[in-house]
Amino acid sequence: MTLDQLNQASAADFVALLDGTYEHSPWIAERAAAARPFKSLAALKVALARVVREASVDEQLGLIRAHPELAGKAAVAGELTAESTNEQQKAGLTACTPEEFAKLQKLNADYNARFGFPFILAVRGPRGTGFTRAEIIATFERRLRAHPDLERAECLRQIHRIAEIRLNDKFGVKPELGEQLWDWAAALAAHSDTEDFLTCTYATPAHTAVAEQLMAWMRECGFDEVSRDAVGNVVGLYKGTGDKTLLTGSHYDTVRRAGRFDGRLGIFVPMLVVRELHRQGKRLPFGLEVVGFSEEEGQRYPADFLGSSALIGSFQPAWLDQTDAAGITLRDAMQAAGLPGTMQAIQTVKRDASRYLGFVEAHIEQGPVLDSLDLPLGIVTSINGSRRYTGEIIGLASHAGTTPMGQRRDAAAGVAELILFTEQRAAAVPDVVGTVGMLEVPSGSINVIPGRCRFSLDLRATTDDARDALDADVRAKLDEICERRGLSYTLQPTLAANAAPSDATWQSRWEAAVAQLGLPIHRLPSGAGHDAMKIHELLPQAMLFVRGGNGGISHNPLESVTVDDAELSIRAFERLLDTL
């Protein structure tokens, strides 16, 4: 099937051509027909998903209920559609052991009793080659505990993924670049500080092995120069015909129990772009310099952004004397990893801004926004500025039975009021967030009114003004609460980071690139910090976000990107280069 065929067909033929894409639900194609012509297969997928988003809840439930149970009675009786039979067979669900079969029957029954619709999972998964039966059962068990509204939305997203794979089959399309990215991510994840989960912290043997693997792949891709610099950044240069260079990349270190795509996706995307340019024997009018930043997450040492700080010349000499949990200084760790560990060497990493056009970074969103909108790509408007504090409210620990309600000085109740205020105040302004993530009554007892309550505060916004306004209001409220309740408090600032708004020109280039793929332009702020936030001090920057699956979860082994979305991010990067 081709896009031209679909675009030119009568409405009835259009529906017939898409038969089987959405299980027993021709109404989706019927309503999408009016949105033709579609510029790309990706545009068609987004349009079909939009019809479902805009449908009534009853229609959405009807779509979910049109699907068979996994390894259910219909599957056993051979009563499924050809598409479903094929998918369940490929996932090995027709070859369950008796125990697995019994387990799945029990899960099906429990799930249906809780939600009133069948469990939906795109069994071919984000890679397209299929989950194992163990993975399917684990996902089933996890989702059985979800909130009903969230679970209904997740079922619909799984249905869109099923439709995506069916459309790829109909069109004879294979997202080969996305598949390569996915396989690289899986191969790199084999290098870990621990055996059970992916953990790759700075200057460990796993970290060095990742750097070596990235360098080997960069050479295979056709980069002209590949090296590891004095802070362990992996740097690949693909020379252009002109003098200037575009800088790009992201980090290859991870948090503990990490996902595979955080950071690494932003290294792989331009690597694959270079591989394609090299295969075609093409040179750009500018060089492309891809940096795999060695450290961004701040896991092993108190200082973070070690890699990008060195690039902008803000690496602090005192950091070399910081120690990790085992008492090893950063200097010693660097030297054990084969790096010089001297400021003299680190200073050579600093870039001369006049040689560069700017900095761009592709990154997994690490949040639920794109996933909930059924959009594969988003354009970042600003990396949030933040302020963080640790604090304590001090009241009076007294007897829970004998102290009347009007005569208490309850420290925890004071913090509770502050939490609710922070939540309401942040929610009142778009793109502003406030969180109390740590909360503790030191040596509290069930029959004692809390005399002390420790807490943390994390305030973020897209502009420094919005962040500072939130900050001022929250601190004024803290004052007022303590005054009224007869409490006192301490508050120590632990971090202040300025917002990094995207450069308007570079942001519009990302927007043009995404539009050329036939996709809607969705702009969103980045709530998380990124290497681009540091490079912002040196060069104009803008970021592209890629949808994360499983509700956008990140810093977690459940972090996920489909090969189709990965492919789109690579294609967007190619279009961005074309606009220069």
Residues that bind Zn ion (CB under 5 A): 262-263
**Residue 399 carries which DSSP code?**
B
Smallest distance, Å, CB 210 to Zn ion?
A: 14
Q: Are strands 287-293 and 356-364 parallel, antiparallel or unpaired?
A: unpaired
- Between residues 26 and 527, which has the closer beta carbon with respect to Zn ion? 527
C-alpha–C-alpha distance, residues 349 and 302, integer Å: 21
Smallest distance, Å, CB 284 to Zn ion?
A: 26
Alpha carbon 62 to its chain's center = 31
Q: Which two tokens stand for residue 95?
A: 């070859």
Sign of torsion over alpha carbons 357, 312, 221, 195: negative
- Between residues 87 and 262, which has the closer beta carbon with respect to Zn ion? 262
- Between residues 470 and 500, which has the closer beta carbon with respect to Zn ion? 500
C-alpha–C-alpha distance, residues 417 and 352, integer Å: 49
In three-state secondary structure terms, 363 is strand
C-alpha–C-alpha distance, residues 51 and 356, integer Å: 44
- Between residues 262 and 574, which has the closer beta carbon with respect to Zn ion? 262
Smallest distance, Å, CB 334 to Zn ion?
A: 21
Smallest distance, Å, CB 367 to Zn ion?
A: 12
Smallest distance, Å, CB 362 to Zn ion?
A: 11
Smallest distance, Å, CB 262 to Zn ion?
A: 4
- Between residues 263 and 376, which has the closer beta carbon with respect to Zn ion? 263
C-alpha–C-alpha distance, residues 531 and 461, integer Å: 18
Smallest distance, Å, CB 28 to Zn ion?
A: 35
- Between residues 365 and 564, which has the closer beta carbon with respect to Zn ion? 365
Distances (CA, A) of 320 to 88, 196, 308: 54, 30, 16
- Between residues 481 and 532, which has the closer beta carbon with respect to Zn ion? 532
Smallest distance, Å, CB 539 to Zn ion?
A: 19
In three-state secondary structure terms, 385 is strand
End-to-end CA distance of the chain: 34
11 near 30, Cβ under 8 Å? yes
- Between residues 385 and 518, which has the closer beta carbon with respect to Zn ion? 385
Decide: residue 62, CB within 10 A, 0-12 exposed, 13-18 middle, 19+ buried.
middle
338 near 212, Cβ under 8 Å? no
- Between residues 156 and 312, which has the closer beta carbon with respect to Zn ion? 312
Smallest distance, Å, CB 294 to Zn ion?
A: 13
Taking the CA atoms of residue 28, residue 176, residue 157 and residue 147 in that order, the dihedral angle to the nearest 10 degrees is 170
CB-facing half-sphere around the CA of 204: CA atoms within 13 A = 20
